[in-house]
Amino acid sequence: SAPIEQRQVGDLQCNIDRFKIVTSLAATGSAVGKIDTTYVHDPATAAAVTAAQTGLSSAGDGIKTIALSLVTGQAAPATARTQVQQGLLDAQTALTGITDATVNATLADAQSKLASTIQDGTAVVTDCK
C-alpha cells in the first residue's frame, strides 16, 4: 500500500481564516488598482501605488509558498510568514504616504481593505497552529 502523507490542513476556523486572507488580499489589490494615478498632481502617488502593489504581490507570493508547503505535508517556512507580514506592512506604509486629496475616496477604500487583510493574516497566525 502507498504511504500516507499527513497534511497540515488545519481545523475549520483555520481554513476559513486562510480563505479570508486570500480573498481579502485580492480585494485589496483590486482597490489599490483603482487609485487614479493618471491625473495626479502629486507624482509621489503613482510611486506609492506601485510600492503598495509590490508589497501586496510579495505577500501573495508568501501565501503561495505557505499553501504549497501545507498541501505537500511540510511545515510552512517562517520566511514565507515573514514575507507575507512584510509585504502587507510595505503596502500599508506606501498607502499611508499618499497625500493627494484627489484620490481620497479610493485611497480610503484601499486602506480599509488592507486593514481587513492584515486582520485576516493575524487570525491565520492565531488560529492555525
Q: pLDDT tens digit string along 7-37? A: 455 678 888 999 999 999 999 999 999 998 8
Q: Is the pLDDT of residue 1 over 60?
A: no
Using pLDDT thresholds of 50, 70 and 90, give the confidence band for residue 70.
confident
pLDDT band at 6 (very low <50, low <70, confident <90, very high): very low
- Give the global pTM: 0.87
What per-residue confidence (pLDDT) applies to 107?
A: 96
CATH number for the domain running over 12-127: 1.20.120
Closest CA to 58 of 32, 31, 18, 85: 85
**75-87 residue pLDDT tens:** 888 899 999 999 9
Please, what is the average pLDDT of the chain? 89
What is the reported pLDDT for 109?
97
